[in-house]
Amino acid sequence: MSFAWAPMTDPLLVAALGARENAFAPFSKFKVGAAIEGLDGRIHTGCNVENATYGLTMCAERVAVYKAVSEGARRFKRVAVAAESDNLTPPCGACRQILWEFCGDVEIVLVNPRGKIETFRLKDLFPRPFDVSYL
């Protein structure tokens, strides 16, 4: 893990922060944006979309992964997650599982609008993932 304060010049972080603005979070008021960078350099974004039943709510990270896959992307190098919190917000357990299955041990960058950044490898956030090797 590394920690820094930086101006927002990285296109992946700018995209995640921008996607956060599109979040639909009328219940929690907790807006999250995500951006995933493919090996080809394309960036795909997602935001959290809440639902009154809560169980049908979709996290920003999964929206970004599904959107990338639906647009033909299959290999990824980085994921950024943006939220308005001093204690930077990592992906939830369900998102960690999806990220592992589609991205493997990808770099995860957490960011807030004030430029606080932390970087991890997914294996550090998700040390014993379940994947196809167990099937």
pLDDT tens track for 88-112: 999 999 999 999 999 999 999 999 9
Domains and CATH numbers, the chain: 2-134 (3.40.140.10)
Could you confirm whether 61 is annotated as catalytic? yes
Find the mean pLDDT for residues 77-86. 97
Average pLDDT, the chain: 94
> Whose CA is closest to 25, among 87, 83, 109, 94?
83
User: What is the pairing mode between strands 116-121 and 2-5?
Assistant: antiparallel
| Residue 6 reports pLDDT greater than 80 | no
Which candidate in 37, 61, 101, 107 is catalytic?
Answer: 61
Chain segment 40-60, per-residue pLDDT in tens: 999 999 999 999 998 999 999
**Secondary element (H or E) of residue 123:** helix 122-125
Give the chain's length.
135
Say whether pLDDT at 3 is over 80. Answer: no
Largest CA distance in the chain: 44
* Whole-number Å distance between alpha carbons of 79 and 69: 14
